[in-house]
Amino acid sequence: MTNPLYDALAAPLAGRDTPVLTDAGGTALTGRDLHRMAMAQAAALAGLGLRPGDRMAVQIDKTPQALALYLAALAAGIVFLPLNTAYTADEVEYFVANAGAALLVGSPVRADSLRAVAARNGARFETLDAAGAGSLADLAAGADPGFAPVPRAPDDLAAILYTSGTTGRSKGAMLTHANLLSNAEVLAREWRFTDRDVLLHALPIFHTHGLFVATNVVLLSRGAMIFLPGFKTDQVIASLPAATTMMGVPTFYTRLLDDPRFTRDLVAHMRLFTSGSAPLLAETHVQFETRTGHRILERYGMTETNMNTSNPYDGDRRAGTVGLPLPGVEVKITDPVTGASLPQGEPGMIEVRGPNVFAGYWQMPEKTREELRADGFFITGDIGVIDADGYVSIVGRQKDLIITGGYNVYPKEIELILDEQPGVLESAVIGVPHPDFGEAVVGVIVAQPGAQVDDAALQAAMAERLAKFKQPKHIAVVPELPRNTMGKVQKNLLRQDFATLFR
């Protein structure tokens, strides 16, 4: 028996003497070095008593050693559970307890609180810091780098990724070797990645975008990465001349466009820019293409599935859409209540089926049955529409649907109009409690720097293009929209902020 992800991603590194990643300081790490580091860590994990199928929770800074730990988990058959570095110890405890983690790896800076979390849940605790030092590094230094990878089947778990949990407790999405490998293979092919590519990697690696899309695709294609700890405009601009591709979230691109050093000449050599994790404004698409000559490729994925759709590499990359279903992935639009398929062009629930779709939610069989149909289609919770050419557009999340006076309102339709108005940088539309209508439509906008927004003009623009029940009953101007680590607007926080507006 083989080990699918190790064989595809890590094994080829063993004979590679060229750099696989370069850190922010310019230090290069060859494939051979990364492989040796990962195998020593795998031996250390085995030495701690971890066995195939055990879960390892990891809350550490983005470093080459952190990436090696992911590869070590694959080699040792350990289920990798990456955690957002912003989580508090109380939040970490939920994940450690829910997953039944055998080991928690955390920063030495938070060692006291995290060690207590591990102890309360019967887990070991080891440390790894931003410089790659710590108790786990010490164990690996004395371990045998000739560790023999353990056999794994395609349906064995490789990772558990927890959802953001904006409505109730986070759910652990179980991702198999086959899930992750199939998606990396499709993306590498569709986005034309080769061993000549150098990816500018400024994404976090506790999230599917930075770890299972960016990293897996580069390793699979034998490319290289400029491995930055996070997004800093100066670092990214300094690194772009050495890159051929970049994967980002919308805020990466808006920040670059705000910097006069970001020019057409700077990125003339680049092959591809992709964007995901949050919607990219049409205005950003236009500004980026005007400034650089490049058209950003937008795609659509989620924790439970990795990538589902993508605008084409060759062909029309349409602003406002997330492109076409990826090869091997089926996408359909259904009635959110009945589950029946809807006619083309009608908005409804996006459901997806394919080898990328997760195996279910960890220890939540009822939730799995609710969201993963017996025929393999996953109910995404996203409301979307498919046009005559097969392009998918996301209208919004089902939980963001506004029901006012018995009528359904999809926020995206209103946001697109608000975003077009003079002086508006971006917007978010929410529903808040209303004594007469049940919910009222509220528009929350961020003004462009130095601009004054005319409320009457905004309302007039809405009146021209929207039915009365869709028009916002209130428009609020805020300095910025609340976002999570990946740039998604946290509408649940906005709903809390404006919950008493009509009381």
Rounded to whole angstroms, what are the CA distances from 475 to 31, 396, 429, 489, 495? 54, 19, 9, 17, 13
Task: Please report the pLDDT score of residue 487 as a whole number.
Answer: 78
Q: Is 148 exposed, middle or buried (0-12, 13-18, 19+ CB in 10 A)?
A: exposed
Structural tokens at position 445? 């906008």
Q: How confident is the model at residue 166 (pLDDT cuts 50, 70, 90)?
A: very low
Q: How confident is the model at residue 398 (pLDDT cuts 50, 70, 90)?
A: confident
Mean pLDDT of the chain: 93
Q: How far apart are CA 443 and CA 460, in angstroms?
A: 14
Structural tokens at position 105? 């790896």
Do the beta carbons of residue 276 and residue 299 sit within 8 Å?
Answer: yes
Q: How confident is the model at residue 413 (pLDDT cuts 50, 70, 90)?
A: confident
Closest CA to 325 of 307, 344, 304: 307
**pLDDT of 293 above 70:** yes
Q: How confident is the model at residue 164 (pLDDT cuts 50, 70, 90)?
A: low
pLDDT, tens digit (0-9, with 9 covering 90-100), for 111-140: 999 999 999 999 999 999 999 899 999 999
Task: Please report the pLDDT score of residue 167 as a whole number.
Answer: 44
Instruction: Tell me which amino acid residue 169 is.
Output: R
Task: Please report the pLDDT score of residue 406 as a whole number.
Answer: 66
Task: Please report the pLDDT score of residue 153 as a whole number.
Answer: 97
Q: Could you tell me if residue 443 is left (phi over 0), alpha (psi between -120 and 50 degrees) or otherwise beta?
A: beta
Closest CA to 206 of 4, 364, 375, 59: 59
pLDDT, tens digit (0-9, with 9 covering 90-100), for 341-352: 999 999 999 999
Task: Please report the pLDDT score of residue 439 as a whole number.
Answer: 83
pLDDT, tens digit (0-9, with 9 covering 90-100), for 170-205: 899 999 999 999 999 999 999 999 999 999 999 999
**pLDDT of 263 above 50:** yes
Task: Please report the pLDDT score of residue 472 as a whole number.
Answer: 94
Task: Answer with the residue of higher pLDDT: 500 or 436.
Answer: 500
Domains and CATH numbers, the chain: 4-17+26-152 (3.40.50.12780), 198-397 (3.40.50.12780), 401-497 (3.30.300.30)
Do the beta carbons of residue 427 and residue 443 sit within 8 Å?
Answer: yes
**pLDDT of 488 above 60:** yes
**Which residue's structure tokens are 């490729």?**
297
Structural tokens at position 136? 């786990």
Q: How confident is the model at residue 397 (pLDDT cuts 50, 70, 90)?
A: confident
Task: Answer with the residue of higher pLDDT: 164 or 435.
Answer: 435
Mean local confidence (pLDDT), 306-313: 97
Rounded to whole angstroms, what are the CA distances from 461 to 11, 455, 456? 58, 10, 9
Residue 361: DSSP 8-state: B
Listed in sequence order, the DSSP H helices in 142-257 are 177-190, 208, 216-221, 233-239, 250-257
**pLDDT of 106 above 60:** yes
**pLDDT of 423 above 60:** yes
> For the stretch 81-120, what's the b/e string if a residue is b when 16 or more beta carbons lie within 10 angstroms of its beta carbon?
bbbbbeeebebbbebbebbebbbbbbbbebbeebbebbee
**pLDDT of 378 above 80:** yes
Closest CA to 439 of 448, 430, 452, 447: 430
Mean local confidence (pLDDT), 50-73: 97
Do the beta carbons of residue 225 and residue 22 sit within 8 Å?
Answer: yes
Rounded to whole angstroms, what are the CA distances from 29 to 227, 247, 292, 493? 10, 21, 31, 42
Q: How far apart are CA 358 and CA 376, in angstroms?
A: 10
